[in-house]
Amino acid sequence: MALLYAFLVILAFIALFLYSIYIPLPDELDGRWRLQILEPILRLLHEYPARIIELIYGPEARCRYSRWFFDLAKQPKCPKTITIVTDDYDGVPVRVYIPQQADNKGAIVYIHGGGFAIMNTKAYDGVIFALMKRLKMPVISVEYRLAPEHKFPAAIDDCESAIVHLMEYKCKELNVDPSKVVVMGDSAGGNLSAVVAQRLKRRTDIKFQLKVQVLIYPFIQCVDMQLPSYQLYAKKYNHTALLDPRSMARYSLLYLGIPATWSNVDKMTRNEHVTRTVREKAPFANHLSHKKLPASFLHDDLYDEPHSPNGDSKLCADLEPFMFNPDFSPIMATDLKGLPSAFIVTCGWDILRDDGVLYAKRLEEQGVTVNWVDYPSAIHGFVSFPSALRSHILDDISRFVQSNL
């Protein structure tokens, strides 16, 4: 009988603990019940330990823990139809995936996500295998330098150097037409892809330009961290392990070399990192207007009209050089004409949803061919998780790439 009582007490404590960490996820999420199990596990094993490490040792230590944690994830075996080669493109390490038989002369440069600070090329093996199943062409994944050890613009410089080296020297070796190179990236990699496409367009010393850009839930700016998609997080799935505003602020600060203190992160999430004067300037008002977003994103019960706080003078001064720099905020570029055709993916449950939408609008205003597709039930990071929805989205991306090469 004593053993039974002990068992029941332990069971009650477990039930109480699980109840205490339970956060209901929105019903509309794709694979909600699977996520409802995985999300608290991710909080317990990653988010909570990372938070403690950050409080004790600082944001850089937290970043190292995140790298270690996500490196534990196993990737699928390489299919027999693909050969993987490690190479060096103009001093930049790359991971080259070569199909047994290519069906066209194109190539994809993939730039991985991870907030400019975590993840690596191997972590995206599964994504690239799935992509190459549809697009039988070489994929070059760039191992760019990570923050905070290597600050802005190191990652951009690496990606640009690798792409130029590919187009000018390696295409012949890979049996690729240098005029048919696609740049593709997700999250921070989407930012780097957009920035590199702009940089290359401005260059007059290179023979070839990118043919297509595919931006998967890209990070485009952090001037406004009160966009409707950020507000949706706060009101519908706050405190979950899905990409949150604090993480985005922390990664941005680490990338830019500005102290990613708890206080600075808090101020960014409240939009206190940009002065009211700067916020009211034309680039901000024109390019990041909430009115440009679909009306369905502005639900009365989930959206509050934007306000303009005065801002913290020190943090504002530190960040102002970057907020309107197109190498960090590609939406702020003055001239986007002539950029390669773009396929932009956004997810309904992602704080970066509105970044992608606003950049798509900006490109269209400048005459760039854009195919923007929003997947209302998807979450940030979906390309890393095999599912029917990922298959559907990769099919859409593949059709766009094939039709534009």
- 347 pairs with which residues across the strands? 375
Helix, strand, or coil here: 168?
Answer: helix
Find the domain containing 305 and state its range. 73-405
Per the domain annotation, does 334 fall within a domain? Answer: yes
Tokens of 24: 């209901």
Catalytic pick from 66, 187, 193, 329? 187
**Residue of 358, 350, 344, 343 whose CA lies nearest to 381:** 350
Q: How confident is the model at residue 278 (pLDDT cuts 50, 70, 90)?
A: confident
Compute the distance between CA of residue 331 and CA of residue 294 in angstroms, rounded to an integer: 18
Sequence-distant contacts of 393-400: CB under 8 A, at least 24 apart = 393/345, 394/130, 394/131, 394/134, 395/134, 396/343, 397/131, 397/184, 397/214, 397/216, 397/343, 397/345, 398/131, 398/134, 398/135, 400/212, 400/214, 400/343, 400/371
**Whether residue 380 lies in the annotated active site:** yes
Q: What's the pLDDT at 301?
A: 85
Per the domain annotation, does 45 fall within a domain? Answer: no
Q: Is the pLDDT of residue 9 over 90?
A: no
Report CA 231 to chain centroid distance, whole Å: 18
Q: Is the pLDDT of residue 134 over 70?
A: yes
**Whether residue 392 lies in the annotated active site:** no
pTM across the whole model: 0.95
Catalytic pick from 157, 224, 350, 354? 350
Catalytic pick from 112, 273, 287, 380? 380
Q: What's the pLDDT at 16?
A: 55
Per the domain annotation, does 323 fall within a domain? Answer: yes
Burial of 296 (0-12, 13-18, 19+ CB in 10 A): exposed
Cα angle for residues 344, 78, 70 (degrees, 5° grid): 65
Tokens of 35: 């996520």
User: Is residue 328 within 8 Å of residue 152, measured between CB atoms?
Assistant: yes
**Whether residue 350 lies in the annotated active site:** yes
Q: What's the pLDDT at 12?
A: 55
Q: Is the pLDDT of residue 13 over 60?
A: no
Q: What's the pLDDT at 8?
A: 53
Mean pLDDT, residues 105-116 taken together: 97
Per the domain annotation, does 302 fall within a domain? Answer: yes
Q: What's the pLDDT at 309?
A: 80
pLDDT, mean over the chain:
92
Instruction: Report pLDDT digits (tens) over 163-194.
Output: 999 999 999 999 999 999 999 999 999 999 99
Q: What's the pLDDT at 356?
A: 98
Per the domain annotation, does 1 fall within a domain? Answer: no
Number of structural domains the chain divides into = 1
The CATH number of whichever domain residue 315 belongs to comes to 3.40.50.1820
Per the domain annotation, does 15 fall within a domain? Answer: no
Mean pLDDT, residues 374-396 taken together: 92
Per the domain annotation, does 23 fall within a domain? Answer: no
